Amino acid sequence: MKCPHCDNKVSFFSKAMNKFGKVKFCPHCSQKIRFKFDLKTVALLFIPTVLFSFLLRPYLGALSTAVPLLVVFLVSAKLDPINENI
């Protein structure tokens, strides 16, 4: 994911992202950001995800559902800027 303020990459698993609370701080520019799920991306990926998990079921069992869902989760996660002025 990219920081909306400074355009630097922010790792989903970085320390800054795993702090409690809605408001996170970019590790590069220290500006306020927050997680947002892109619902369009989720909707777009939903059907392929269901198909994919169906196809993988004979090989992966329960994992066939968990893995595609995790991918959708990671792909649709976006960072949103928080503007102090609003």
Axis crossing angle, helix 63-76 with helix 39-60, rounded to the nearest 10: 160
CB of 76 vs Zn ion, minimal distance in Å? 20
Does 32 engage in binding with Zn ion (CB under 5 A)? Answer: no
- Contact criterion met (CB below 8 Å) for 73 and 39: no
Does 51 engage in binding with Zn ion (CB under 5 A)? Answer: no
Query: In 1-86, which residue ranges form alpha helices assigned H by DSSP?
Result: 39-60, 63-76
Does 28 engage in binding with Zn ion (CB under 5 A)? Answer: yes
CB of 57 vs Zn ion, minimal distance in Å? 40
Q: Where on the chain is the footprint of Zn ion (CB under 5 A)?
A: 3, 5-6, 26, 28-29
